[in-house]
Amino acid sequence: MRIPLFAALSAALAAAAQAADPETRTLDEVVVSGAREATPLAATPAAIGRLEARALDDAKATRIDQVVNALPGVHMVDLGNEQHSMSIRQPITTSAVYQYLEDGVPIRPVGVFNHNALNEVNLTGAGGVEVVRGPASSLYGSNAVGGAVNFLTRAPSAAPEGRVALLAGSEGYNRVDTGASNTWGDFGLRLAHYSARQRGSWRNYNDMDKDSLTLRADYALDPQTPLKLVYSYNELDTETPGSLNETDFRNNPAVSYQTFSYRRDKAQRLSATLEREHGGVLNALTLYARENDHGQNPAYSIRSCTVSATCPTGYVGNINVNSYTSLGLEARQRRHLDWRDGRLIVGFTFDRSPNTYVEDKIDVTRDAANVYTGYSLSTRNREYEVLLQNASLYAQYEFTLWPATRLQLGGRYDTLRYDYTNKLTPSSATGAPSEARTFEHFSPKVGLTHELTPATSLYAAYSQGFTPPEVSSLYARLAVPNLKSAVFDNYEAGVRTRFAGGRGRLSASLYRLEGYDEQVSYSIGVGNSEPRNAGRTRHTGLELGLDYAFDDRWEARFAGTLAEHKYLDYDASSTLSYDGKIAKQAPQQIVNAELAWKPTSGWRAALEAQRVGAYWMNDANTVYYGGHSVFHLRATWARGAWEWWGKLLNLTDRKYSTSASSSYSGSGAYTPDTHNTYTPGDPRTLFVGVAYRFGAAAR
C-alpha cells in the first residue's frame, strides 16, 4: 500500500500553522528522556510522547499497555497476565529493538533482552512515562532502535499523604494498592505497592499472582546536591495458557492446550543518583544493581517428535531458568557554554552482568482430549554462563545556529563483550564451545529545531540505532554463527504546536527507518534453521497526536499511526525470497482515541476507542488478519477523601486477537490449524474500584 505520507504531513503542518495562536506563548512542556535531563520539548529534535501523572491516574490501568497506547506511534500488545510484545516504528515483535528504562537506568542488560520485561515495572510508582520513538542509541546504547520507554518514578510529596485502593474484576482479577509519602526537612520518602491475584478467569489455566513495590527516597545534602535512591521489587507467577489454532480461536477461545506451563519472574533493582550543580556545571553519578531470576515452562516450546528412545511420549518441551546480577554506573556532566548559548553533555556508562542459563528437556504427555497434561524431566540441553560487559562514552552538544534555531550533535561509542562458558560438553544438543567475542559501534545523531511561532516548533533529525546479537542467538548451536550487529538509519521531521489559547495541542512526525544486516531465521532444511544477517528493511510512517479541551467539561485526544514495514532484502532460504513483501504482524493503521466528559467537580467519564488495522500474518503475504476495533468505558467519582470508579473493557464484547501470526511459507499445502496461531483478547470485562486518600492526597 502506498501511503501519502508527505501529503499527510503537509496537511498537518498547514492545519497547525492556521490553528496556532502566535500571540499566545503557553508553558513549555519539559521532557527528560531526550537529553537525560529536563529540556523543553520544543527544543528536542526527536519524537517524544509524555504521559503525566494525571493521565496515569485517569486510566485506572491494570496493565501498562492501557496507558502507553494513548501515545501516537505506540502499540503495546497484551499477551495475557502482564506478558506483552511491542510495536514502535516496527511490526509487532518480540525482538530486541527497544530499550526499557526506569529513571534513565536500563531495566535489563544488553544481550538478555526479554519482550516481557515491562512486567518488571511498577506502574503505581511512576509519576510519568516518556517514550522516545525511533533510534535513541546515541544516548541509551544498543536495542534503542524502535524506541526507548522511560518510566519516571514519582517524587516524595511535600506533606503527608497516602492511598489505599481495592479493585475487583468480573473475570477473577482482584487487586489492592497501597501508597504513602511525606517529607521531613531535607528527607522525603514515597512507597507505592500493589498486589494482584487472578483466579477463575474466562480462559482455562490462567491464574496469576503479581506483587510490585517501589520505594523512593530523596535527600538534599545541600540546596545544590540532591541524592535520590530508588528500590524496585517485582514478582510475577503466572500460568500460561498459550496461543490457539484457527478453529479454537473461532469457536472455543477459552481452551488451553496445557495444564502445567508457567512463567515465574522475580526482579529487584536499586539505584542511587547523586547530583551536584555549581557555577553552571552539573555533575551526576548513578550507581545501580539488578538481580533477576526468570524461570519458565513455555507453552510455545512444546512440539511433536517421532516416538523413540529419546522421545518416548511423542512430545517434548523444555524448562529453563535465566538469571543475572548486575552492577553498573553512569557518570555525566552538563555545562553551559557562552558561545551561542551552548550546552554540552558528556557521559560514561559501564554495566557488568554475569548471566546464567539452564535448560532441561522434558517429555510431555497428552490425554484423550488432546491436552498436554504432564511432563517428566529428560536430559539437560543447556547450561552456560556469560559475563556481559558494556562500556560506553557519549556526548551531546547543542547551540543556537541562528535566531529561533538550535542544532544538536551527538554520538555514543559502545563496546560490548560476551565471555561465554559452556558448562556441558559442546555438541549440537548442548551448544557451542566456550569463547569470548566483542561488538563495537558508534551511533551518531544530528538534529535541528526551529521555533516557527511562540506556539509552534519544527524539527528534523537523523539518528542511528543498533542491536547486537542476543546471547541465545549466538550460543544455542554447536557452530557459533558469524552474526553482526543490525544497524538502523532513521530520518524524520515533525511539528509540535499549541492552539486555541493553549487548550489544544498537536504533534506530527514523519519518519523513514532503514534497517541493515537484520537478523532473520534462515531455513536450511525442514526443521533446521539458523540466525543470519540476511535482512534489509524499510519502515516508513506518519504519527499524529491531538489533544483538545473544548471547555471545562469536554476534552478529547487522538493518537494515530500510518505505517508500512517492508522487506527490501530477505532470503528465507536458497529457494525462498520475501524481497518486496510487507513484514508480518505489521498493521498499517493504529488509532487510539478518547472523549472525556467532566460534568461536575469530581466526576469524569470517558469512552476510548482502539483500532488495530489489518495485517499480514506471514511474510509470504498470503494469510491475513482483518484487524479489530475495541471500545472501553471508564467512569470516576471523587468526593472528599473517597474515590469510586468503574470501567467496562471491550464494551461490545468483540471477539479479536491481540496477536495473530502464521508459519505458512507461501508454498505447499496450507492448513490453518497447523500454521496459524492467535492470542485471544479478553471478552467484555467489568472492573469496579474504591480508594481512600488521606493527608494532602485527599484535598
Q: How far is CA 191 from CA 177, 236, 689, 696, in A?
A: 11, 19, 20, 15
Q: Which residues contact 388 (CB under 8 A, 6 or more apart)?
A: 109, 110, 111, 112, 324, 351, 352, 353, 354, 355, 416, 417, 418, 471
pTM for this entry: 0.94
177 within 8 A of 119, measured Cβ to Cβ: no
CATH node for 5-698: 2.40.170.20
Q: How far apart are CA 649 and CA 167, in angstroms?
A: 14
Q: List the one residue out of 645, 620, 642 whose CA is nearest residue 634.
A: 645
CB neighbour class for 471 (10 Å; exposed up to 12, middle 13-18, buried from 19) = buried
Cβ atoms 465, 135 nearer than 8 A: yes
- The residues of the chain scoring below 50 in pLDDT are 1-27
Q: What is the predicted pLDDT for the residue at 141?
A: 87
Identify whether the C-beta of residue 604 lies closer than 8 Å to the C-beta of residue 58. Answer: yes
Assigned C-alpha cell, 136 = 535513541
Phi-psi region of 549 (alpha: psi -120 to 50; beta: other; left: phi over 0): beta
> In Å, what is the CA distance from 1 to each residue of 88, 527, 580, 585?
19, 33, 12, 15
Q: How far apart are CA 24 and CA 622, in angstroms?
A: 53
Contact in structure between 172 and 198 (CB atoms under 8 Å): yes
Enter the DSSP assignment of 36.
Answer: S
Rounded Cα distance, 283 and 559, in Å = 37
Which residues are CB-contacts of 440 (< 8 A; sequence separation ≥ 6)?
Answer: 413, 414, 415, 416
| Cα separation, 102 vs 194, whole angstroms | 18
Distance of CA 656 to the CA centre of its chain: 22
CA distances from 336 to 46, 346, 529 (A): 21, 12, 53
Q: Determine the pLDDT at residue 4.
A: 42
Antiparallel, parallel or unpaired: β 98-102 and 147-153: parallel
| CA atoms of 527 and 529, how far apart (whole Å) | 7
Phi, then psi, of 312 in degrees rounded to 5: -70, -25
Strands 98-102 and 30-31: unpaired
* β partners of residue 594: 557, 608
- DSSP letter at 64 equals T
Q: Categorise residue 578: left if φ over 0, alpha if ψ from -120 to 50, beta otherwise.
A: alpha
Residue 205 to residue 663: CA distance in whole angstroms? 25
Cell of 516: 541493515
Which long-range contacts link 279-283 to residues 24+ away (Cβ below 8 Å)?
280/335, 280/336, 281/333, 281/334, 281/335, 282/37, 282/332, 282/333, 282/334, 282/335, 283/331, 283/332, 283/333
Q: Would you give the distance in Å from CA 385 to the centre of its chain?
A: 27
Query: Which of 406, 338, 354 is CA-nearest to residue 35?
Result: 406
- Tell me which H or E stretch contains 693: strand 685-695
Cell of 539: 519502515
Cell matching residue 433: 564451545
Report the alpha-carbon distance of residue 117 to residue 114 in Å, rounded: 5
Domain boundaries, the chain: 5-698
The Cβ of residue 172 has, within 10 Å, a number of other Cβ atoms equal to 17
Q: Which three cell numbers stand for residue 339?
A: 558561545
CB 388 within 8 A of CB 274: no
Which stretch of DSSP H or E encloses residue 67?
helix 65-68
Specify the 3-state DSSP secondary structure of 54. helix
- Residue 24, C-alpha cell as written in the block: 499566545
- Which of 585, 587, 690, 577 lies closest to 641, judged by CA? 690
Nearest Cα residue to 292 out of 268, 328, 263 = 268
Query: Dihedrals φ, ψ of 365, to 5°?
Result: -115, 150
Coil/strand/helix, residue 393: strand
- The answer to whether the CB of 589 falls within 8 A of the CB of 562 is yes
**What is the pLDDT, as a whole number, of residue 5?**
40
In this prediction, residue 214 carries a pLDDT of 98
Q: Taking Cα atoms as reference points, which of 145, 148, 207, 211 lies closest to residue 173? A: 207
Which H or E run includes 364? Answer: strand 342-366
Residues 62 and 84: their CA atoms lie apart, in Å, by 13
Provide the pLDDT for residue 28: 64
Check if the beta carbon of residue 182 is closer than 8 Å to that of residue 232.
Answer: no
Side-chain half-sphere exposure of 105, counting CA atoms within 13 A? 29
Q: How far apart are CA 32 and CA 43, in angstroms?
A: 12
For residue 63, give the C-alpha cell.
496493565
3-state secondary structure of 59: helix
DSSP-assigned letter for residue 156: P
Q: In which residue are the cell numbers 554506573 written? A: 329
pLDDT at res. 699 = 56
- Determine whether 85 is exposed, middle or buried from the number of CB atoms within 10 Å of its CB (0-12, 13-18, 19+): buried
Which run of H or E residues covers position 53? helix 53-59
The helix/strand/coil state of 667 is: coil
* DSSP secondary structure string for all residues of 492-556: EEEEEEEEGGGTEEEEEEEEEEEEEEEEEEEEEETTEEEEEEEEEEEEEEEEEEEEEE-SSSEEE
Q: Which among 104, 134, 229 has a CA at the least distance from the CA of 464?
A: 134
| pLDDT of res. 138 | 86
Q: Cα–Cα distance between 547 and 545 in angstroms, integer?
A: 7
